[in-house]
Structure 1
């Protein structure tokens, strides 16, 4: 039996705005990975998983919410290739090949605890202004569209 579709007043606008937001985010990052969207997606999945514990712990989040202080790699949560395949929907073989390329590029490392982490020096050399400014504009645009239409209420 088919589930009934729930119609919210702004459901199409919200879906469109989120899709546009995601595509704009990918566009601003894909140049770092030779225009490879799958590698971009994997980088985001790895870095998000690595920082998951920190960003969900109120005390740690307060300390590391900005880029003023580097999160120690000991606080990272490594992620397995299988978990990446499951979370991104990419085939395991694709994840394996892309991760191998990212390791070769020096962006990702095998963690001694098992799993993958973003290489610490990538984060230490990170220029937040250059990378985040386009993302911040993109986020402001998303909230502006949703706020102006009343979709957030």
Structure 2
């Protein structure tokens, strides 16, 4: 994978790349274990759910003064969230469409995704509560890892 981001080409990054990699692994491995457990070992299920949520909420998150209460109102979802379908999720993830379709059905059965009258997919407002344990354990770990990496990237004092 070719990387052209200026940060990763910096002397500080190059000098600390091994420590940065281990720090990232220290965050991602527990995250993946938590996701694996929360989704009964079905990582693809989590990827499909995450892609639907990110696709839906992108427009809403871009707004400066968005009202979080609107996310609880299923009737308002079509006006504030960007809908998606199995094909768009398959294209975004590279997961075969039939696999995405099966995962979507499982997510609907679990109440994490719903299909609007027009067939479009939306993440259900209950998802944050359903994934709360993973989120609560990982936010502090993410902030700690980010702080460690920022410290590693600081120029050496002379």
TM class by smaller structure: 0.7 to 0.9
CA contact (8 A) 1:78 1:113 kept: no
- Range that drifts further, 141-150 or 8-17: 8-17
- Distance in 1 separating the partners of 2:25 and 2:99: 23
* Cα shift at 1:131: 3.9
Matched position secondary structure for 2:106 = helix
- Distance in 1 separating the partners of 2:110 and 2:3: 47
Cα RMSD, aligned residues only? 3.1
- Distance in 2 separating the partners of 1:50 and 1:126: 18
Matched position secondary structure for 2:82 = coil
2:101 corresponds in structure 1 to 96
* Cα shift at 1:132: 2.5
Q: 5+ unaligned residues in a row in structure 1: which ranges?
A: none
Once the two structures are superposed, residues 13-66 of structure 1 have per-residue CA deviations (whole angstroms, 9 ceiling, x without a partner) of: 556655664444333233232111110111111112221111101111xx33xx
Q: 5+ unaligned residues in a row in structure 2: which ranges?
A: none
- Distance in 1 separating the partners of 2:141 and 2:103: 27
Once the two structures are superposed, residues 124-148 of structure 1 have per-residue CA deviations (whole angstroms, 9 ceiling, x without a partner) of: x817863422121221122122112
**Normalised by the size of structure 2, how large is the TM-score?**
0.71
Aligned residue pairs, count = 142
Matched position secondary structure for 1:44 = helix
Are 1:8 and 2:15 counterparts? no
1:140 corresponds in structure 2 to 143
* Cα shift at 1:81: 0.9
**Normalised by the size of structure 1, how large is the TM-score?**
0.73
